[in-house]
Each structure stands twice: as structure tokens, then as C-alpha cells.
Structure 1
């Protein structure tokens, strides 16, 4: 029998062996350890070998949760003119239940979502259900009585014309029908419903609304609360009638925190339709941006909705001419309502990648980066249904549900026909992927605040992205990349600073396909930086790809190929890969230059919703209608800041 001292020596050696063989960062990884007490001459020694299970004791997010932070129901005035599905059915649909659409179609998601924000418009919140129910307060007004008669007794054309009149009427300085009591009542009905459908661990119903400002210039934000109805009911939605200045929205959110203890954030969307106003370097009134306002924007707008039905907002081919994937679902002809043409000089203030670059310059100038945001996708559907899969896409609004001519109906009728948007131009997107510790309001909200999020155009692919200084090839050979990721670096949304002498940042990136969608073509890392002259630059790196392709003389990979059978709306996963993982080191790193990095995951080509529609209804669409798509994901960035 060995002595106690020998047991101690043996035990320490065994512990060290497990430590280095299992993970170079096991201790940092917060792995639970069993404490063994052994007597010695000096007292008691504690030996803490790792647990056998590599999953025991993990305290980092281990699951991505899927949801939509931007859904409208019949409670929104613009949706409610045509949509008859209320907020309760919207929650039921998101939870995976089957509902019946406004026009009598049965509808259901392929898989339930994990969370939902019903973000009905603040302007005249709840008016349409009250109007259509014949509420006497509403009908006592001239427009209320006229609209009620037209929507309940008129023919289809009159109903449509009236719906358009109601939508246009929202753009004035005052609401056409004002009832503070009605708004408060509708808001409190909604918050109670959200509490009812919020089931911690199963489904999260976050409370929120949309602040819709500057009409056709789309400075819209979705406001989201961390708390429950008892918190949200201490206010009512701020509307454009209160102010059309985003700076006033931030001040309002700050006041909510100070006065009622509400934790809130706002998510801008569709900068691509703001005609140069979403991501400017000036105040709302055209003055130089101050450090104080930059800090408020960074605090209250930690995320940007970068993809949705009204087009993709990551980047534009004019801004990123060397990026062959830049021209994706572009809406770039005019502002939201087609009243003002877009010029190329506006584009730099509309797209997320350019805003991230401009944020580096502002941080250098002001000491604060107002555009240090993460990325999510959401729908902006006005049908009450968060349905964005290509074969299950119900469109922007309930005026036209799936039928043979939906692809050519007019979504936005502009004064200039060149700016008119037709049905086929809608994108079936997107969703928000959120890495949270659990499916609760608090955990999901907190993940949003720390920007541990990513956007997809619809598919639910799993994406991990970590940055650090010491990732190596061995970290890409594990089935648990997050163990190395959290132990040796920071996740998406995180910060690196003060590069160690002689080191460049390393990134661990991994992606697994959505089992219902296409294989993966490649993973790219997008870098933006500020050079020694104070100007910004960008570069897209292919870091891992499928099918043994090799870059050409220009450094570009050949296309992955295309297996789509458009006529039958099918494809084959005979190309691409189901999963990818790699460690990449920035070959062009300069430790003195501010920079950001984010991952972009590209799928192989698959049928677009228009191909499914043509097949289902046996219609032939015009040659300008795209029939295939390459779905994608965009992670939140990781930022690098030089020393000092």
C-alpha cells in the first residue's frame, strides 16, 4: 500500500495529466471539479480533478435560440387595414401551433420559434381593431365613421383605397384620430397577453413596439423591454407624434430606466430605405455628432436588424465592389414610399458594414463608437406570421396571400414607376439567432445587450465566432468549439485590445447547416479597419470552403455550383458541406489600427420563394424574377482597439 504522501503525489500528477490532455484551458473554462480531501502531515490537501463529463459545470451559452423581434398584427394601423389576425394568434403561430390566415389558408411553421417580439406600431396603437368593432368613440370622429363604412361595407377596391388613405394619414404631425385612453387600453391588453404566453424555458414573449419616424425615410426602431407587464404598463409606446427625432427616443428610454427602472433597448431597421439618414455622422438636425449622443446611441441601440422582407442591409456592391456576394436582395432605388430617388452618395449612410467602418472613425474622433452594434435578422411581416422559409413565405402584408399573381402585385406604388416595388422583390427573411444561457426574457435580453447574436436570411444554421490571440488548429478539431472559444477568447459582440507583442488576432469560426436547408458553400471573415491616414478600408477573406476548390489567380474561389431544378423547385445537397470549422489568423494585422471582424456564412444555391410559387401555381414569371438564392448568416462583429 502506498503512503498518503505518495497518493498525493500520484493524485497531482493524474490531475495535471487530465488538465493538459483534456483542454489547455480547462480551469479557465469553469469546469466543475470534485474536491478530494486527503490527510497529510501538515493538515488536509485538496485535489480537484476535472469531472469525467465534458459538459458538466458549463456556465456559458450552449444553445442558440431562434426568434423574430419585428412582427406586426392587426393592432398595427397599416397592417390592420387588411390583416384580421390578432396578437394572440401571432403568439400561437410562433409557438408552433396551426392558425388560419386572414383569407382562410391554414398555416404553420416547420418548427416552433423560441421567442417573439410583437412590435406593433406605436402610432394610434390598437386603432384598427377598435374601428372595425364599431367602437363608438372612434366612430364619433369624421374619419372614423367614413373609414368604418368603407372597410365594412365597401367593395374590394374601396377597401384597398381606404386602407391606403389610412396609411398615408399617419404621416402628419397629429394623429387623425386621437384617444390616449384607447392606446393605453390596447397596450395593457397586449402586455397581459405577452405575460400569458411567456413560458420560461419553453417560449419567451418579449414586450415591445415599433417607433415609426420620418415616414418614407425609415428611421424606424423596435423598442424592447426586459421586464414584464408590471414594468411596461408604467408607460405607453412613444410615437412619432411625440417626436420624430431618434435622439428623443434615446432620451425617453433613458428616462424609463431612471424613473421606473425599466431595462430597454431599440433596434433600427431598414437603413437601406432611409436615403442616407440612418447611419450618418451628424445629429438629427445636421449638427456635428457629440460624444454624449454617440454614447447614448451605443447604449440604447446595441443591435441592428440587417436583413428582412424589405431587402438586405449588410452591404451594397457600390460600397463593396470587390465583394461578389454584396448584391443580395437589394432594395436601392428610392426611399421607403418611393417619393425620393436614391443617389449613390446616400448609400454610405445606409448599410451596416459601412456604418461599422464609420464607427471606427467616430471613435477615434470622439472617444465613443456609436456604431458598435451587433447584427440580427427579423421579418417585419404585417401578416401576424413570422414565416420566412422560402417554401412557407406569406409575404409582407395580408392584402395578397399566396395565389397565382402574388409575385406581380404592387407592394409599394411609387409616383415614379421606376421606384414601384412588386411582390417578387420581397425577400423571404429573416430571423435572429441569439446565444443565451436559457430561454427566458432576462437571458435573451441580456444576450442582445452583449451582442452575442447573429442574423440569418431565414435558415436556422448554427454559427459560432470567437476571437483571441492563441487559438490554434487543435481548437478546430474539437466537437466543443465553445469550450476553447470562451476559455481562450471572446465571442461575437466582444472586444480585443492591446495586441500582445508580435501577435495577430486569431479567430475560431464554426457553422453547421440547417437540416431543412442547403449545405454550406463557405465561411468568410469580413474585416474593416482604419488606416494610418484615418480612412477606412475593408476586405473579405474566404477562410474555409467546400468541395476542394482552390482560389484562382485573383484570389477568388470559383463558384460552388448550382444544383437547383427551378422547374420543380428542388435542389441536391451533393455539393457543399454540412458543417465547417477553422482557425484563421489575420495576415494583414497592424496592431496600431482600429478594426472589426465578423463572419459571413454562405449556403449553396437553393430555390427562392418565387420558384416554389411558380411550381405550385403553374405560372411563368418574367425573366427579371430571381429563382434561386444563396441564403446566409452574418455574425455580430468582434472589435480590436489599439493600446491607449
Structure 2
């Protein structure tokens, strides 16, 4: 048989070896003949798209990154010991070994796919300017005073300098108005670094910064993320809280930026659990007027996402108002904020994602527009230049909390300091969270930004678990097992972040759901659908359904599995095994209680089996006692952006 094949190909080899002066023309004139001999196909074969992927444009990959990382260019990082600049942050995100500001070797298990360095606009680059004794800074009275405190007073002097800055920020006063040129140069350095490390198709450095208002200590911060490049971003100086503490003014600035440059920009609110009820309030920030249609339209135009989980707590749900959710009490920072106003229970529903999503349905019914129709992502908010979100590789929020046996690693007060001890949140309660998952076609600025804009994103608490969901009215169970189920999902339904409208008569929405464990992480416990809806009397409701559970456990007639997955954590050894759970969970689910006249949303929550907390790893590595008020293990999780249903 081999000989026959060789003899069959031999004339073709000779045909391809002609080498006279007319060989090129002869080759061109014999294309059709050669094609026929080689393939036995007609001339029209070259017009057929044999590859099934030609022309596809739907997202095929999940990319993981951090949209919220601070370097030494942020005052609350650089003034507290962070000496690593943007280049160090990018090199670390790319998987390189970096020496942390406290002198510890640090490296990620796997590189990130993308990064946004979101240094604070307020006093941008002040710490590097102090360290370099910048002459423009020293030429100002306030700048010279800060320089002296930091250079001569060590850590205590730096704290005094930072407190002075916070006093000015609290008064909404820029203490260094003369230094706009310095701020511009620092911004240009940040955009320079983004251009240097942006490698389309391999690693994306999105340009961004953080706008940081804190009225009376309440957190209303937003990360501002640009779609375009340095050429466009350098046409502005970042809008800061010194310019305004009102999000509506930020949106106006963003609109003006787009008109000026032709670029696109979006903002991502975060830390609503520290906003004292202001993040998802019923009134506008400055005028205290009830939310109207114009406000709702502008908020969703500029703020399509919400950072639902990060170091300063998880803000998906709270057991106070999700009383039937045994998994709602996860990393809730619910006792204090950054100012003198103390937290009260009535603030909480306006701080967490799930109640805000529910109230958004009521607003849509009233105004015709939903002001809280946001997708969900996670990110770190690390101030160390190191985007670490693994429990066994956690470098804390700021440099003084980097890994060590020093009691401060567990005992530093991070929030609630102005209030009584009962309102304080401690560093041991910090989460090693989170990451942004983005479904996109390619790893580029444009593709990732566009996915964020259309809300095709998900949040994780640091794990690289993948979740995918499609909703539609024509899916059947067997669609989940199609070899091309993703393509089919886009053709017949909508992905996370999408909208279903006007259910066909007699049909309820069905969902195709797949969750896959982190390849280097823990197996999965369960996959759930969280449903919220506006009932016929105008009241908001919620319900949780277990869609898929591991270990052969049963889902009851009420849609819930009551048997826990188990726990393999060895606390003393800071270890666990994947002898329980499942590497992949998939499910087909149709809403059993669907009413086509009622507005609703659906999002996925997937949970891992229990794994050691970062404090448990610390106890093993440093030989220290575990904190008594922190669980030694946890169940990491992922949240998809919702799919919304509207009757019209």
C-alpha cells in the first residue's frame, strides 16, 4: 500500500519541480489542473469554507484579570511603603518573579491575561515625587511640608502626611493645585507603561485610574477604564474627587472625554458595602432628588458593571435580607466604614448587589429604565502592586500587611477606625479576592472592553473557575450536550449580561449552564441559579435553585439540595483533597414558577468545596495561632452577570 501511494504522488512531485523561465506562468495557468489532480475536487472547491470557524465572531475564551490594582503612584500605597511602580506590577501580572516592597520574593502560579492599574487620581504620583524630592513639589508650601514629614519622620511621619491629605480630601479641597503639570507627567508615565506592556493576543494592559470620593468616609469609588490607547488617554488629566464627589459630574466628564477623543470609557463602582447606603441609594448624591429616568439612563450608560467582590469584603448578598440563603454570609464587611457615621441596618439593602438588582426591577416598572442593571466582576484592590488572589499566595492589602509573623498581619484595623471597637474590620477579615472573568474572542483592549460594556463577564473570589450560561425560550436538555453548544447558545438565546423579552405563549425561559473548576484549584460543590423578580403587587422577591450538585446528592422538590458536600480540609496542615466534589458541573434548568407578565433576573452562583483560608496557610507557614473569629476554611465562588427578563 505504501508503494502505491508513493507512485501516485511521484508525478505530482515532478510537476512541482519545473524550473524554466516560464515556470511561474505555467504554475499559474495550471492551478485548476493541479487542484483537480491533488484533490479530485472541482474548481469551485476553493470557494467552500471547509473550516467551521470561518466567519465566527462570538466569544470563545474566558480571560482572567484584575481591573483594580494600585502601585506606588497611589498615595495610600506609596505613602505606606509601596516602592513598586507600574512596570513592576505588569511584570508580576505577566508571571515574572518580583521582590515585594517588604523584600519577599513573589510570583503568580499562572500569569494573568489582563490588568488595569487603577491608581488614585487624587494626588496621583505624590509618593514618587516625594521620594525623588521633585523640585516642583518642593516649591509649594504644602508639598515641602509633606516632604519633610515623610523624609524625616519615617513611618510615623508618612502617616501624619497621609492624614493631612485625607483632611483636605474630606474638605473636597486639592491641597496641591499648582501641580497639575506634575499630575500630567505622572499620568503620562502610567500610560507609557501600559503601552510598553500591552501585547495584543498575549497580555492586555488596559489604561485606567480610580476616582475616589468619600463623603463623610462613605466609599463611592469608581474605576475608570478606557478602551483606547495612550494617544487618546494623554489628552486629559484624570478627573478626581477634588473636581467633584458627585458621580453625575464624573459621567459628564466621561461624555466630554468621548467627544474630545472619539474613544470609549466606562466606570466600575466598587466597595458599596462600605458606602453607608449611598452606593445604590434612591436619591441623587448631591441634590438628594429621587432617581428619575434621565439619571437611570445615564448611570447604565456609564456604569454597566459592579465590582461585587474584592479584598474589602464580598458584596453579593447578606443574611439579613437573604434569610433563606445559607451561603450569603461570606466575607461581609458590614460593621463600619471609613468615616464617623456608624453603620445601621437600614443602610445594608442599598450596599449589596442582589437587593440592588431587585430594586432595579421596581425602578424599571416605574421609570421604564433600570438604574441598577449591572453585570458582576471581581478584582483585588491590592495596594502592593501585586495582584495576588490565591489563599496560599496572599500579600495583603498594603505593604505593612504583607506575609510575616508580625501580629499586625492579622490585627490591623482596616475600616471602622473612627467608631467604637464593635464597628471595626480587621486585616484578618480581609478576603484574598477577587478576579474579573471576561468572555471574549481575543485578548485585546478592544475585545475585553467591549465584553465589559455588554456585561458578558463574571466575578470570582480569586479562583479561576469558569462559568458560562445561555438563556432562551427554545432550549431543550439535549442542547447542553451538543458539540457546538456554545455556538447554538448564541444563535438561539442570550449569554450572561443579555436580555430576554416577551416570552412566547406557553413557554418559560430555560438555561444551559456549565461551570468548570480552576485547573489548579478545588473541585466544585454546586451550581445555583439566583432568581429575583417583581411580583404582581410590586414587591421584590428572590429564590435560590440548585441546578447541579456533586457527589450524587439529590435536589429536592423545592429546588434545593440540603446535604452539604463535605469537608476535606486539614487545618493543621493547611491542605485539602479533591476526593469530593466534581471538576465540572453542568445543568439544564427551566424556571418552574415563571410568570410571563413579571420582570425578573437570573444569575449563576457556583461554589467550590471547602478549602483553607489564607489565615490558615499563614498559621502553618509562620507557626502562629489561628485567629478565633475567622473560619479556617471557606467555599470560594463565582458569580455570573445576570440575564434579565422583561415582559415588553
TM-score relative to the length of structure 2: 0.89
CA distance in 1, matches of 2:540, 2:73: 43
Aligned to 2:109: 110
1:595-624: CA deviations, max 9, x gaps? 110000011000010100010000012321
- The answer as to whether partners of 2:549 and 2:561 remain within 8 angstroms in 1 is no
Aligned to 1:287: 289
> How far did residue 327 of structure 1 move?
0.7
Aligned to 1:80: 78
Unaligned runs of 5+ in 2: 1-39
Aligned to 1:60: 58
Correspondences of 1:481-500 after superposition (within 5 Å): 481-500=485-504
CA distance in 1, matches of 2:538, 2:114: 42
Aligned to 2:34: none
> How far did residue 165 of structure 1 move?
4.0
> How far did residue 375 of structure 1 move?
0.6
> How far did residue 551 of structure 1 move?
4.1
RMSD: 2.0
> How far did residue 586 of structure 1 move?
0.3
Aligned to 1:442: 446
CA distance in 2, matches of 1:322, 1:195: 48
Aligned residues: 601
Correspondences of 1:409-448 after superposition (within 5 Å): 409-412=412-415, 413-448=417-452
Aligned to 1:124: 123
Range with bigger deviation, 210-219 or 634-643: 210-219
CA distance in 1, matches of 2:395, 2:596: 48
1:559-615: CA deviations, max 9, x gaps? 111110011100011110000111100000000001110000011000010100010
1:186-229: CA deviations, max 9, x gaps? 11121122111111101111111111112521111000110001
> How far did residue 233 of structure 1 move?
1.1
Aligned to 1:621: 626
- The answer as to whether partners of 1:526 and 1:540 remain within 8 angstroms in 2 is yes
Match of 1:597 among 599, 602, 612: 602
> How far did residue 480 of structure 1 move?
4.4
User: Tell me, what secondary structure is at the counterpart of 1:299?
Assistant: helix
User: Tell me, what secondary structure is at the counterpart of 1:170?
Assistant: helix
User: Tell me, what secondary structure is at the counterpart of 2:239?
Assistant: coil
Correspondences of 1:493-532 after superposition (within 5 Å): 493-532=497-536
1:232 aligns with 2:219: no
- The answer as to whether partners of 1:464 and 1:482 remain within 8 angstroms in 2 is no
- The answer as to whether partners of 1:338 and 1:420 remain within 8 angstroms in 2 is no
Aligned to 1:203: 203
- The answer as to whether partners of 2:533 and 2:541 remain within 8 angstroms in 1 is yes
Range with bigger deviation, 189-198 or 498-507: 189-198
1:480-528: CA deviations, max 9, x gaps? 4312211221110011111011000000000110011110000000111
Aligned to 2:388: 387
CA distance in 2, matches of 1:590, 1:367: 19
- The answer as to whether partners of 1:338 and 1:419 remain within 8 angstroms in 2 is no
1:540 aligns with 2:550: no
1:267-311: CA deviations, max 9, x gaps? 000111111100122222211212111101111101100000000
TM-score relative to the length of structure 1: 0.90
Sort the Cα spacing of 1:168 and 1:309 in 2 relative to 1 into closer, same or farther, 3 A: farther
1:549 aligns with 2:550: no
Range with bigger deviation, 131-140 or 301-310: 131-140
Match of 2:461 among 452, 457, 464: 457
User: Tell me, what secondary structure is at the counterpart of 1:566?
Assistant: coil
CA distance in 2, matches of 1:480, 1:544: 21
- The answer as to whether partners of 1:552 and 1:558 remain within 8 angstroms in 2 is no
CA distance in 1, matches of 2:225, 2:275: 22
Correspondences of 1:8-407 after superposition (within 5 Å): 51=50, 57-82=55-80, 83-178=82-177, 179-215=179-215, 216-284=217-285, 285-335=287-337, 337-404=338-405, 405=407, 406-407=409-410
Range with bigger deviation, 599-608 or 542-551: 542-551
1:559 aligns with 2:564: yes
- The answer as to whether partners of 2:336 and 2:419 remain within 8 angstroms in 1 is no
- The answer as to whether partners of 2:71 and 2:385 remain within 8 angstroms in 1 is yes
CA distance in 2, matches of 1:553, 1:361: 29
> How far did residue 414 of structure 1 move?
3.2
> How far did residue 89 of structure 1 move?
0.7
Aligned to 2:639: 634
Unaligned runs of 5+ in 1: 1-35
Range with bigger deviation, 159-168 or 623-632: 159-168
- The answer as to whether partners of 2:218 and 2:275 remain within 8 angstroms in 1 is yes
> How far did residue 49 of structure 1 move?
8.8
Sort the Cα spacing of 1:155 and 1:257 in 2 relative to 1 into closer, same or farther, 3 A: closer
